[in-house]
Amino acid sequence: MVDSTLAIQICIQVNGAPQIFDRFVVSGTSISQVLQDFDSSGEIGIASLLDRGYGVAIFGKKRDLNTQLQDGDRIEICAPLIASPMDARRRRAKREHKGGKM
């Protein structure tokens, strides 16, 4: 069996605009393996981001680090949420409907 090469992207937004890095990996590579290789290149300290509560997603859907990649996947390093989306919506609704009935 011949190993095929997959084209993937790594998207990170720490300060400012998101940074996108293109990579090629062999099929069967996991997110964890890609991030370890990327970390060893010294471009950005992903391990420290994950330790600070950042999450990992593929196209906006949270994924486990053992997930095997497919051709065209974009790994996203996501900042932790400051507030839950449900709580934020409740605060907005309360603010927008203050004094009136909902």
**Residue 71 domain-assigned (yes or no):** yes
**Residue 102 domain-assigned (yes or no):** no
What contacts 62, CB < 8 A, 6 or more positions away? 55, 56, 78
101 against 17, higher pLDDT: 17
Q: Where are the beta strands (DSSP E) in 1-102?
A: 5-12, 19-26, 55-58, 61-62, 74-78
pLDDT in tens, 14-49: 777 888 999 999 999 999 999 988 887 766 777 778
**Residue 43 domain-assigned (yes or no):** yes
Q: What is the pTM of this model?
A: 0.72
Mean pLDDT of the chain: 85
Q: How far apart are CA 65 and CA 100, in angstroms?
A: 47
pLDDT attached to residue 1: 45
**Residue 76 domain-assigned (yes or no):** yes
Closest-CA residue to 44 (of 67, 11, 71, 75): 11
Q: Which domain holds residue 21?
A: 5-96
What CATH number is associated with residue 78?
3.10.20.90
The total number of structural domains that make up the chain? 1
Number of C-beta neighbours around residue 73 at 10 A: 20
**Residue 101 domain-assigned (yes or no):** no
Side-chain-facing half-sphere of 63: CA atoms under 13 Å = 20
